[in-house]
């Protein structure tokens, strides 16, 4: 790859809120072959109606790799007390969720929402750290979102929309299904990563209005300004992602070796939930469309949620996020992987003391997977401080009715 093209790509992707996985030797060789016909301007998505440049074509035959036992899947059973299928009739969803309740009734539960393309088990390692460090004083609940992981639609015609309003309604109704009575529900601390940060921020008001106690929100590595600036370059980022993998172990290995997830144990727990056998994907596509496309994937496993298919919803996920975060009627925590990610609105809010910000060193975008111990420490400190500040029920004075 020429120095000009390499430096241009680096400059344009420098402000992305996620790490750009490096090209493999095979992909770099293919890109070098095609470089003469490429234009630098194509990297911005121009001329493709916002869909970005096409994926890098493969010109060499693929050779399937045997599973690498070093990246074998690890069950989530060691990280959560139970796996649940939560029927949410109001949203026509059957949600896969993982839950470890607090040891005492009326405790606090951290309710987590993953980012786009990830899954509920993205919070597995940090959940075990939270429960262990707090000695069971807090619980953790995490669910796969619509069109992610093992959550399935129960509607005759599946609503495939990932609009922010749809995701917020799904999240709120899932909570209302699990804890039907707000008065007897635990105190909730909402935690959201990337896209999930936008969801939990907007879920505060409807939950408070329904009578639930929300002690705080923790948003992990998403800032409106940075995310919005990065959107035109996201397709270039996605071009570095493979369409599929020979086996689950290969998917785990790719995430770890590209530093998409820097903690191999977390990757072995979370990644198996975000890929599925290509045969299952084909049968799902046939059942929803009513006809088979006839296309056969050359991969044994493909993504449960191809990120390129979510592109229409990206602007809506992040528009207005900073104002919504600063206006949320609860305590606010922002965890970032770098200090350069604050936009102007959040910089002003930070100087005014409207939220707590913590930078986690040595991590990538999926910071709660990369360093679950440090993130758990920050979340527990945030919980303890705000739990102490929670006011007791008002005692009526003499003569009050």
User: Which residue is associated with the tokens 């707090």?
Assistant: 134
Phi-psi map region of 135: left, alpha, beta (phi>0 left; psi -120 to 50 alpha): left
CA 227 – CA 45 distance, rounded (Å): 16
Q: Which of 110, 171, 122, 70 shows the shortest CA–CA distance to 273?
A: 122
CA 287 – CA 224 distance, rounded (Å): 37
Q: Where are the alpha helices (DSSP H) in 134-232?
A: 164-178, 195-209, 224-230
Instruction: Quote the distance between the C-alpha of residue 74 and its chain's center.
Output: 19
Active site residues per annotation: 194, 221, 365
Strands of 273-329 (E only): list them: 275-277, 301-303
CA 76 – CA 266 distance, rounded (Å): 10
Question: What is the C-alpha radius of gyration for the chain, rounded to an integer number of angstroms?
Answer: 22
Strands of 260-359 (E only): list them: 275-277, 301-303, 331-336, 356-359
User: Which residue is associated with the tokens 């015609």?
Assistant: 157
CA 275 – CA 75 distance, rounded (Å): 15
> What interhelical angle do 124-133 and 372-389 show, nearest 10?
50
User: Which residue is associated with the tokens 């910089």?
Assistant: 347
264 DSSP 8-state letter: H
**C-beta neighbour count of 385 within 10 angstroms:** 14
For 385, the enclosing helix (H) or strand (E) is helix 372-389
CA 48 – CA 42 distance, rounded (Å): 9
Strand, coil or helix: what is 1?
coil
33 DSSP 8-state letter: H
Q: Which of 79, 91, 203 shows the shortest CA–CA distance to 142?
A: 79
CA 373 – CA 75 distance, rounded (Å): 19
């Amino acid at each position: 790859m020429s120095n000009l093209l390499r430096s241009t790509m680096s400059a344009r992707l420098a402000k992305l809120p996620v790490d750009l996985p490096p090209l493999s030797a095979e992909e770099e060789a293919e890109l070098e072959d095609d470089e003469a016909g490429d234009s630098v301007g194509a990297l911005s998505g121009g001329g493709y109606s916002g869909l970005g440049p096409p994926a890098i074509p493969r010109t060499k035959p693929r050779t399937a790799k045997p599973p690498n036992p070093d990246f074998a899947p690890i069950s989530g059973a060691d990280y959560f007390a139970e796996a649940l299928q939560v029927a949410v009739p109001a949203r026509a969803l059957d949600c896969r969720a993982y839950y470890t309740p607090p040891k005492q009734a009326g405790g606090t539960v951290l309710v987590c929402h993953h980012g786009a393309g990830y899954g509920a088990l993205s919070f597995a390692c940090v959940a075990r750290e939270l429960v262990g460090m707090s000695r069971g004083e807090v619980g953790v609940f995490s669910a796969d979102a619509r069109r992610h992981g093992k959550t399935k639609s129960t509607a005759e015609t599946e609503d495939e929309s990932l609009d922010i309003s749809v995701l917020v309604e799904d999240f709120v109704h899932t909570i209302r299904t699990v804890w039907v009575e707000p008065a007897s529900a635990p105190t909730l601390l909402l935690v959201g990563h990337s896209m999930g940060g936008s969801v939990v921020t907007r879920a505060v008001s409807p939950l408070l209005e329904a009578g639930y106690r929300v002690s705080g929100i923790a948003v992990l590595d998403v800032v409106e300004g940075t995310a919005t600036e990065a959107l035109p370059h996201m397709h270039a980022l996605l071009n570095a992602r493979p369409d599929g993998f020979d086996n689950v172990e290969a998917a785990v290995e790719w995430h770890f070796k590209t530093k998409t997830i820097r903690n191999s144990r977390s990757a072995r727990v979370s990644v198996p939930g975000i890929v599925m056998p290509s045969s299952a994907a084909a049968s799902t596509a046939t059942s929803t469309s009513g006809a088979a496309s006839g296309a056969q994937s050359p991969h044994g496993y493909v993504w449960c949620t191809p990120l390129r298919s979510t592109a229409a919803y990206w602007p809506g996920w992040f528009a207005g996020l900073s104002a919504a975060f600063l206006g949320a009627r609860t305590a606010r925590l922002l965890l970032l992987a770098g200090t350069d990610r604050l936009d102007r609105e959040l910089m002003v809010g930070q100087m005014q003391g409207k939220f707590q910000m913590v930078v986690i060193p040595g991590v990538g975008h999926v910071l709660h997977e990369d360093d679950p111990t440090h993130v758990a420490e920050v979340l527990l400190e945030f919980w303890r401080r705000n739990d102490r500040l929670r006011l007791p029920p008002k005692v009526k004075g003499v003569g009050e009715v």
